[in-house]
A and B are shown apart, each in its own frame.
Chain A
Amino acid sequence: MQTEEMRLDGNAAAGTLRQVFATDVTSALTTCTACGAVSPVGALLEYGHGMGIVLRCTGCSAVLLRVVRSPGWLRVDTSGIAVMAIPVGPIEPH
């Protein structure tokens, strides 16, 4: 399953993350609990697999976010994110 053109960053996880956060979070800034690095979600490293998504810190590779799909449930672990800053309001004209 990993053989195909799996994107390797948070941009690919955006669709699933929208089910969790009710908005696009690829521009949201995450602070890594482990090392303090700040990165937009779109730039985080994604390790996709059949069951869900793992997003890792570009600085220290710690897991920031885990989403696992199972029938009837979407399990979300954001314990690796110390702070998530989601932009509010029109930041860029559409």
Chain B
Amino acid sequence: MAQNTVDQPAAASPRLEWRVAKVVDVREETPRARTLVLDVPQWLGHSAGQHVDVRLVAEDGYQAQRSYSIASPPEDARIALTVERLDDGEVSPYLIDVLRPGDGLEVRGPIGGYFVWDVMQSGPVLLVAGGSGIVPLMAMLRHHARADEARRARAPMRLLYSARTRADVIYGAELAQLADDPTVDVTLTLTREASVDWSGHRRRIDRAMLEEVSWPSSENPRAFVCGPAPLVESVATQLVELGLDPARVRTERFGPTG
């Protein structure tokens, strides 16, 4: 085990402070999801999988704070957040309906050291997303795509992404492009798609699907599972039942969203 000569926790970092980021671009991803591209002053970079906290302050001083995963890879100077609109939400309707390029937004980050992946880590990776859980995994996929061929081949990725309908699939076109690379595999499953044109999976993620998509446990894959809590818990349990090392199955639960 490497010896540390300085008695300092691994992730000791500059003070986490609120800063006013500038919205430089917005992009509609699906009818309910939008990407905000932000310029954050004194941004020191991030790791794929990390998030930022966003804070809104009303005129009466009332504050609402939420966490949003960074969708962009560490290679990009600006950060992208993809936000899904919750009709009864306190923050997302503002971010989606009101915020415009040129506006400011208070953010704090990057945050997180558990649900992160770096392309320098070799070994196969399984990514499992439910709904907007795709966002932090997209940062990982984008980060992977920026590496050279040899490094990408040392950390091949497989994504299993569950969404309601085709219209709800975020980053659909980009995922199809990423999947052109032999080191990346993308499998979608739609749980409420009505159209007969869809020839892919049409059910919730279950053990059979995981078994089909996942790396064999003998390859000792890392797994990142993100989405609504029930999906995350059920998938994580099943992956361990399939023989994956529990210490290599990392989870991030999102709240009641799809």
B8 and chain A: residue at smallest CB distance: A88
The winner among B12, B89, B115 for most chain A CB atoms within 10 A is B115
Is the C-beta of B191 less than 8 angstroms from some C-beta in chain A? Answer: no
Instruction: Assess the A86–B113 pair: CB atoms within 8 A.
Output: no
Distance of A18 Cα from B4 Cα, bound (Å): 22
Digit string of B80-113 for contact with A (CB within 8 Å is 1, else 0)?
0000101011111000000000000000110111
Known: A26-B112, A40-B114, A88-B7. A4 touches B13 (CB 8 A): no
- When A11-B51, A15-B109 are in contact, do A4 and B250 touch as well, CB less than 8 Å? no
CA A1 to CA B64, docked complex, whole Å = 9
Picked from A5, A6, A42, A88, the residue with its CB within 8 Å of the CB of B115 is A42
Residue pair B90, A4 in contact (C-beta under 8 Å): yes
Residues 1-16 of chain A, each 1 if its beta carbon lies under 8 Å from chain B, else 0: 1011111111110110
Report the minimal beta-carbon distance from B233 to chain A, rounded to whole angstroms: 9
Complex contacts, B115 vs chain A, CB 8 Å: 11, 26, 42
Question: Which residues of A, 8-59, contact B by the 8 Å Cβ criterion?
Answer: 8-12, 14-15, 18-19, 21-27, 40-43
Main secondary structure of the interface of B (DSSP, over half): loop
Given A1-B90, A14-B111, A94-B47, residue A7 in contact with residue B13 (CB < 8 A): no
B257-A5 in contact (CB<8A): yes
The residues of A that contact B150 with a CB separation of less than 8 Å are none
Residues of A within 8 A of B (CB): 1, 3-12, 14-15, 18-19, 21-27, 40-43, 86-94
Instruction: List 22 interface pairs A-B (beta carbons < 8 Å), by A numbering.
Output: A5-B84, A5-B86, A5-B254, A5-B255, A8-B253, A11-B51, A11-B252, A11-B253, A14-B112, A14-B113, A22-B9, A23-B13, A24-B114, A25-B113, A26-B114, A27-B10, A40-B114, A41-B114, A42-B112, A43-B251, A88-B4, A90-B2
Interface residues, chain B, CB within 8 Å of chain A? 2-4, 7-13, 16, 47, 51, 53, 64, 66-67, 84, 86, 88-92, 108-109, 111-116, 118, 120-121, 132, 229, 250-257
